Amino acid sequence: MDQAAEIALIKSSVGRFFTVYDVKVSYESVEVMISANPATLESDFEELRKDMYSKGYIPILDYTKGEYSINVVRKPPAVKRRIWINLILLFATFGTTIYAGMILYANYVGSTELYTLDVFVWGVVLFAFPLMLILGVHELSHFYMSKKHGLDASLPYFIPAPPIIGTFGAFISMRDPMPNKKALIDIGVAGPLGGLLVSIPIALIGLLLNQGATPHPALPPAGQMGVNLPLLFEAFLWLIPLPADVALHPTAFAAWVGIFVTAINLLPGGQLDGGHIARGLLGKNAKFLSFVTVMVLFVLGVFFYTGWLIFAFLIGVLGLAHPAPLNDVTKLDAKRIFVGVLALMILIASFVFVPIYIVPDVATFDLEFQGSNETTVAAGGLAFFYLTVNNTGTMNITVDMDVRGLPAGWGALIYVAGNSTANSSDSLSLNVPYDSTATVAIEVLVPSGQLPGDTSLTLNASTQGMGVSATTQVTKSFMVQVV
């Protein structure tokens, strides 16, 4: 088709829906100046968009200085879809989530065997399948809403990841530009809402499964992974409380991941779902909110959770400014504004400053005398003191203790209470497991001929847990009065 015929076709197509009073041709587009009825502008442009899509063109509505215009550009050639990429990523992600589920289930039941049929089956049923269902519904909700607005979108691309989650989520690729603000909000919010509606029952099922769990023996938590619960998950605990000293069930953890993904996607930045919603609500001003979002994530990454730095970087790299929809002119209805407010409330209820943490290696303890730290003894006698050693850290520790300040001729023994004094001396190296206590006896020998008076002694204790460079030191004073 020659240029004149193409311009005539574009003018004729636009003229079916609007009154055309001027046409301007440039190298990149054809600008058609129109007269429009504001009451029917949105529906008329939507019909024009569908008509021109079928002919290989994309119309862009503009309103500048009191004049409406439609810029028409050629639609880029369609890229051949390669569904095998989607399938490979789907199976790879299912594999990594299964492996993550096996680890989670084995840890949950206290099994030392990972590669068994039982662990494999329950890893699939209790974690991999629920998590993939949440992510799948999230992306298929985007896909469905895209098709409802007449847009071409890809099937989901799942992203595999190492344990303990097994996936970085999924995404769909939009092959058509957003037609209007309503589509931005509808498509943006569809995924988080769909995923959340699946996450809620899965969370409740997971918490119900938690009810029959058997508490594990007190294991040192140092190095273990923990998660903080957002407000939404805390609300579930009002209905189904989590038993004490029980790990989160793998199914409940899958729901936690789903809610975490919801929060990330609803961040109002760049090309995220929240970025779509913000662009629909705020128009061009959404880029300022996107900038604020990146700055907030940067601050949270520096002071709370370093993982937020990754998301701040990704939003910045992908672009703070969201592409404008084809129709960026007509106003939103109250329904979409309500949906935008709802999305903000879901973000607040799903977000947590520190989602994942690793329990640090802490080697601390305290000493407490059982009874008085003063006693009276005659010369030539023995004075006894008893202390409780309490492991207050997050790991197994060894406490080294010795008695100091002994006058010449005095003797002291320190040993575990109830044990024989054979081979005891004025120092002791005591193993104290995590979350446990031990009782230590101190025996002080006062020599014959010692003159009456008060003598102050000191018990010096220190510990250094494995892998911990800092040493914790505690001293306790006690008094022997010779009469």
Q: Which of 369, 412, 414, 373 is nearest to 389 (CA)?
A: 369
Q: 153 and 147 in contact (C-beta within 8 Å)?
A: yes
SS3 assignment, position 277: helix
Q: Which of 418, 443, 414 is nearest to 428 (CA)?
A: 414
pLDDT per position as a tens digit, 446-466: 999 888 999 999 999 998 765
Residue 376 has pLDDT above 60, yes or no: yes
Q: What distance in Å separates the CA atoms of residue 55 and residue 10, rounded to the nearest whole number?
A: 9
Residue 1 has pLDDT above 80, yes or no: no
Q: 151 and 179 in contact (C-beta within 8 Å)?
A: yes
Phi, psi of 92 (to 5 degrees): -65, -45
What share of the chain has pLDDT > 70, as a percent? 98
**What is the average pLDDT across 47-74?**
93
Phi, psi of 337 (to 5 degrees): -65, -40
Say which amino acid occupies 274: G
Q: What distance in Å separates the CA atoms of residue 398 and residue 443, rounded to the nearest whole number?
A: 21
Say which amino acid occupies 161: A
SS3 assignment, position 87: helix
Q: What distance in Å separates the CA atoms of residue 332 and residue 441, rounded to the nearest whole number?
A: 78
Q: What distance in Å separates the CA atoms of residue 44 and residue 35, rounded to the nearest whole number?
A: 12
pLDDT per position as a tens digit, 379-405: 999 999 999 999 998 888 999 999 999
What value, to the nearest 5°, has the Cα angle with vertex 236 and ends 233 and 240?
Answer: 135
What share of the chain has pLDDT > 90, as a percent? 70
Partnered with residue 69 across adjacent β-strands are 33, 62
pLDDT band at 62 (very low <50, low <70, confident <90, very high): very high
**What is the average pLDDT across 297-303?**
95
Rounded to a whole number of angstroms, the distance between the first and last alpha carbons of the chain is: 119
Handedness of CA 24, 328, 139, 171 (dihedral sign): positive
Q: What distance in Å separates the CA atoms of residue 430 and residue 290, rounded to the nearest whole number?
A: 56
pLDDT per position as a tens digit, 142-186: 999 999 998 988 889 999 998 888 998 888 888 889 999 999 999
Q: What helix, strand, coil percent values describe the chain, rounded to 5?
A: 40, 25, 35
Query: Which residues are CB-neighbours of 438 under 8 A, at least 6 positions away?
Result: 388, 389, 416, 430, 432
pTM of the predicted structure, to 2 decimals: 0.84
Domains belonging to the chain, first-starting first, are 3-74 (3.30.1360), 83-358 (no CATH), 365-482 (2.60.40.10)
